[in-house]
Chain A
Amino acid sequence: MVQTIKFSIDGLSVAYHDFWALSEVSLEIPAHRVTALIGPSGCGKSTFLKTLNRMNDLVDGAKVKGAVLLDGQDIYGREVDVARLRKRVGMVFQRPNPFPMSVYDNVAYGPRVHGTRGRATLDALVERSLRSAALWDEVKDRLGRPALDLSGGQQQRLVIARLLAVEPEVLLMDEPASSLDPISTAKLEELIHRLKQQYTVVIVTHNLQQAARISDYTAFFLGGRLIELDGTAKLFTTPVDKRTEDYITGRFG
């Protein structure tokens, strides 16, 4: 089967001041698949994720070398509109971060920022996004209530709905389940599984079982380098590199 490549990364290195968090990483991320990034803390997987929508730009002293191509275009090119890039490549953070406003306004935030007006249009968009994030039935009667009153799991799905409302192509997730209870985590994993039909998903996780359950491809990072990338089933059963094997069998990390 021929696969479309969404991201093509070549020789990517990232430094914070003098510390190289990522060295010479090259890999491809296929469209409409879930790619999991695993590795011990500080291995560079979160840094890698943040280069894909240029959230690293916000970090003082961050330097990026190498090429990151999204649909063949370098996102670090001179003429790139970072806001438009982030609209295409959205991000879900470790801790749910709904804004201190109503559920409705949270989901409508992105569309409004990008110029969508009109009550009916927004209403429809909000409902569609909340349905896609599997949250509609739980919040449809309290859209005007503060988003911060929702449970942690609901907040994380709300944040995903907020993201879907700007109609992105790629969803970056930085340990999205790390602050959730097991039931919320299960719901979130189910959601991620459905989302890959429409979106390309890249997820950082500390939970190896989670990576094994939800991803099609898994990349193992260690010390700022990409050690191994393969189909998830293959990487977890017959890893090529000794270090990958040591990590997934729990010998370190």
Chain B
Amino acid sequence: MNSRRQESLARVALGSAACLTVAVMLAITGQVLASGLSHVSPAFLLEAPRSMGREGGILPTIISTAYLTTVALAVASPLSIGAAVYLAEYARRGRLVQGIRFATESLAGVPSIIFGLFGFSVFVLKLGMGWSVLSGGLTLALMILPTMVRATEEALQSVPARYREGSLALGASRWQTVTRVVLPSALPGIATGVILSVGRAVGETAAVLLTAGSALGVPQSLGDPARSMAVHLYILASEGISMDRAYATGSVLVILVVLVNAATNYLGRRRVPGRRKHAWSRPSSSA
């Protein structure tokens, strides 16, 4: 076989693989949206469910999802940014850093149900938090922690070393250098990591069901149980309550995740050097 035929054959095979991937993606979202979108209405988004979700809307599950995600982010963001800054800016390369890196990478590969099991036995039972927004949020926080550490560390590493040198050579401390030059430059990358984590947290089902429960009301405090949209969808479908409503909930979830990814892409594109807009530079009033 000559190299030109090989080339065209490769082109066809690789192109088909790419098309197939896109087709699968379109088929899944298309099927969900086709079956569910017609049942999504303003009332569906703004009303409480009636008779276990057979009637009414999904407002409490939207609110619960927002609460759970907020708790997860509030806990995981400072922790992961702190850990990433330590790894990327402070720690000397060595065994310890390699160990921490290996641990976070392994943690990222652990199935979410394991996090759910851990959250259930530690937060729900041992610490007596019960099925609650707090238990669920903390469990989600642990789950998204490795992703966020990784994304933040990569964002920090992509900040050119000459910025650090420039700052240190002016007599700035490491802390001043990190907070005033490095972190602002890394912000778009960090935001990308945060948003990706939101996508994971919003879609998580098993771990949330085990730790936040599945009560249908709007949680009034961190100690109240909550049912996220993903859990709601799971229950509607698995208990045969209403496939239409399950698909409608699924459509809302899919749209939400697509929006989140679009935001990620937007921020990701802003990271390309030269296209950076200097959002953090203070306008000057002098001259």
Contact = CB atoms under 8 A, between A and B. Distances in A.
A115 to B, nearest CB: 11
A143 B287 contact: yes
Interface stretch (A70-78, A100-108, A211-219): A100-108
A55 B162 contact: no
B170 A146 contact: no
Contacts of A166: 170-171
B168, B173, B176, B181 interface centre (most CB from chain A within 10 Å): B168
A179 to B, nearest CB: 12
Interface string B151-194: 00000000010110111111111001000110011000000000
A110 B286 contact: no
B169 A101 contact: no
Contacts of B92: 60
A144 B170 contact: no
B173 A83 contact: yes
Interface residues of B, number: 30
Interface string A86-109: 110011010101111111110001
B287 to A, nearest CB: 5
A123 B286 contact: yes
B108 to A, nearest CB: 27
A95 B170 CA distance: 16
B11 interface: no
Nearest to B160: A97
A123 B170 CA distance: 19
B93 interface: yes
A101 B168 contact: no
Interface string B243-275: 000000000000000000000000000000010
B284 A109 contact: no
Contacts of A102: 278, 281-284
A53 interface: yes
A105 B283 CA distance: 9
Contact of B181 (A93, A95, A99): A99
B156 to A, nearest CB: 14
A113 B286 CA distance: 20
A84 B283 CA distance: 29
A141 B287 contact: yes
A38 interface: no
Contact of A109 (B167, B173, B285): B167
B165 A93 contact: yes
A100 B278 contact: yes
A86 B283 contact: no
A93 B166 contact: yes
A110 B281 contact: no
B165 A97 contact: yes
Contacts of B173: 83, 113
A194 interface: no
Given A55-B165, A60-B93, A99-B181, A110 B284 contact: no
B170, B280, B284 interface centre (most CB from chain A within 10 Å): B170
Nearest to B285: A119
A114 interface: yes
Interface string A112-123: 011000010001
Contacts of B160: 97
B180 A109 contact: yes
A209 to B, nearest CB: 27
A115 B93 CA distance: 32
Contact of B169 (A53, A140, A144, A146): A53
A192 interface: no
Contacts of A119: 285-286
A113 B185 contact: no
18 contacts: A60-B92, A86-B168, A87-B170, A91-B165, A99-B185, A100-B281, A101-B278, A101-B281, A102-B282, A104-B282, A109-B167, A144-B281, A144-B282, A144-B283, A146-B281, A148-B278, A159-B166, A163-B170
**Closest 5 pairs between A and B when the two form their complex, measured CB to CB:** A87-B171, A97-B162, A104-B284, A102-B281, A101-B281
Interface of A: 53, 55, 58, 60, 83-87, 90-91, 93, 95, 97-105, 109-110, 113-114, 119, 123, 126-127, 140-141, 143-144, 146, 148, 159, 162-163, 166
